[in-house]
Amino acid sequence: MERNSSQDDHTREPIFRSDLEERSQEHQYEPSRSTGGPGGFLKRILAPLAALGILLAKFKGLALLLLKVKFLGTALTMIVSIGAYALLFPVWFAVGFVVLIWVHEMGHVIQLKREGIAASAPMFIPFLGAFVAMKQMPKNALAEARVGLAGPVLGSLGALGAWGIYEVTQQPLFLGLAYIGFFLNLFNLLPMLPLDGGRAVGALSPVFWLVGIVGLVALLFVQPNPILIFIGILGGMELWRRWRNRNTLEARAYQEMEPMQRFMVGLVYFGLIALLGLGMAATYVSNPTALS
């Protein structure tokens, strides 16, 4: 019996070893290869957005329901934006950057409520920022200017808060966020529709819109950027619409305001530009996204 058992073990041994070799070969794999170059970089950015688009297409009913609930819609788009920015920047910088955008947009929301205008909650678009949809236009250019300036005002306070946290904690991340926050709000003050600065200078003189168009075209020659091209297309369409209707009774009534009101809008607008420029100079770092 023992001999037969031993023989059986010997006869089974080669089969057992062969089975192990087959399994080890099945589990062998080659290391993943880097997909360097611009193609691989774009794939890393677009892959999660494509996946999100597929999910939204499959469950569009659920997505629309979530977007109708203001808090859930804002939270969902914030999370998606954080994930998108985290592909380019350190995670905590991405979180802080999205929070600064939210603070800026809440300035618009608060002022719209003060003007008696119904509006949506902030909705985020990865790599393009965020927007607040107005249910109706403000009653006049002065109200539109107040709504436009409210975002940079509150957004500047948010960047100032990040700077204050840095002074207390000496954590370089907050210095980088302060700098990028000042820059974000200064960029939004460009005298170009649909940016906040375009809404503000509309109360001063439509000539500023032409200055904004010329400046944007010059900036595109110096540093081409798809975001600037997108803003230029939207701004050009809106500028053409307003220019075409400039002589109508509604347009003239929309632009009417007292000289002191124009002066106050100009004071806030140019004062913000000066303060934000000083804030950027005081918090300047060579690479704010690396401070994590």
pLDDT (0 to 100) of residue 46: 46
- What confidence tier does 184 reach under pLDDT thresholds 50, 70, 90? very high
E-assigned strands of 64-166?
123-125, 129-131
pLDDT (0 to 100) of residue 1: 44
Q: Which of 61-65, 271-275, 280-284 has the lowest mean pLDDT?
A: 61-65
- Does residue 161 register a pLDDT over 60? yes
- What confidence tier does 290 reach under pLDDT thresholds 50, 70, 90? low
pLDDT (0 to 100) of residue 149: 95
- What confidence tier does 93 reach under pLDDT thresholds 50, 70, 90? very high
Average pLDDT, the chain: 78
Cα(49)–Cα(62) distance, rounded to whole angstroms?
A: 18
Q: Report the pLDDT averaged over residues 213-231.
A: 81
pLDDT (0 to 100) of residue 263: 93
- 3-class secondary structure, 184: helix
131: which strand partners? 123
Smallest CA-to-CA distance from 276 within 192, 204, 189, 217 is with 189
Our CA angle for 260, 200, 107, nearest 5°, is 110
pLDDT, greater one: 42 or 184: 184
81-to-63, 71, 182 alpha-carbon distances in Å: 16, 15, 20
pTM over 0.75: no
- Does residue 11 register a pLDDT over 50? no
Residue 209, class by beta-carbon neighbours within 10 Å (0-12 exposed, 13-18 middle, 19+ buried)?
Answer: buried
Name the residue ranges covered by the structural domains of the chain: 45-290
Q: Which of 55-69, 114-128, 132-146, 162-176 has the lowest mean pLDDT?
A: 55-69
Smallest CA-to-CA distance from 128 within 237, 236, 238, 229 is with 229
Q: Which of 27-41, 52-66, 119-133, 144-158 has the lowest mean pLDDT?
A: 27-41
Q: Which of 114-123, 208-217, 281-290 has the lowest mean pLDDT?
A: 281-290
Q: How many residues does the chain have?
A: 292
pLDDT, greater one: 197 or 241: 197
pLDDT (0 to 100) of residue 65: 52
